[in-house]
Amino acid sequence: TKCELHKYRKNAVPGEGNIENGIMIIGEAPGYNEDLKGRPFVGKAGKLLDKLIEGIGLKREDFFITNVVKCRPPGNRKPKEEEIEICCSLYLDKQIELIKPKVIVCLGNVSSVYIFKKFGLKFTSMNKEHGKVYSISSLEIKTKIISTYHPAAVLRNASLMPLVKSDWEKIKEAIG
């Protein structure tokens, strides 16, 4: 209840999945279906995400899947800067601290901008950054960060599909 978004939610969507493997997928915010079920990526974009994961021979249960903000913004608007700051400082930052991911997959701009900044990188644009692997090594964490287009963007623009598939091949390599 630390930000406005809790007022509109049916359920908070904290995230779910494997916390041992150290592979995180971070989306933007819950949508309609996620809010109903309290689970991340269970709508149309989630179905496509499942396919992309299966395409590299893995299962969604191999990952920890979450979002930048844990409550659905009304009408699926973009989360506001202050909502992101409050929510991430309480939840996403803590999840990263606990899971200590070896690989972080950022889905879409909102997630990429937040994660790049957190790790001292500059996110220019998805066109330039998608599929690039950045290795971060500090006292606290050793991780690889990769951005790709949000599955919802691929549903809106099917011509992104080949790029996204090749990004997921790079994600597979980074996971090793």
User: Which parts of this chain interact with ligand URA (CB under 6 A)?
Assistant: 27-31, 34, 40-41, 45-46, 67, 152
- Judged by beta carbon, residue 145 or residue 149, the one nearer ligand URA is 149
- Judged by beta carbon, residue 37 or residue 172, the one nearer ligand URA is 37
Strand segments (E) across 56-151: 64-67, 103-107, 133-137, 142-148
Least spacing, CB of residue 165 vs ligand URA, in Å: 19
The C-alpha R_g of the chain, in whole angstroms, comes to 15
Least spacing, CB of residue 77 vs ligand URA, in Å: 12
Least spacing, CB of residue 153 vs ligand URA, in Å: 10
- Judged by beta carbon, residue 45 or residue 145, the one nearer ligand URA is 45
For residue 113, how many other CB atoms are within 10 A of its CB? Answer: 17
Fill in the DSSP letter of residue 44: H
Which amino acid is residue 166, in one-letter code? Answer: S
Task: Count the alpha carbons within 13 Å of 164 in the hemisphere toward its beta carbon.
Answer: 21
Beta 64-67 vs 23-27: how paired, if at all? parallel
Cα-Cα end-to-end distance for the chain: 39
- Judged by beta carbon, residue 15 or residue 101, the one nearer ligand URA is 15
Least spacing, CB of residue 40 vs ligand URA, in Å: 4
By beta carbon distance, the residue nearest ligand URA is 27
Q: Is 4 exposed, middle or buried (0-12, 13-18, 19+ CB in 10 A)?
A: middle
- Judged by beta carbon, residue 45 or residue 99, the one nearer ligand URA is 45
Element (H, E) at 27: strand 23-27
Least spacing, CB of residue 176 vs ligand URA, in Å: 26
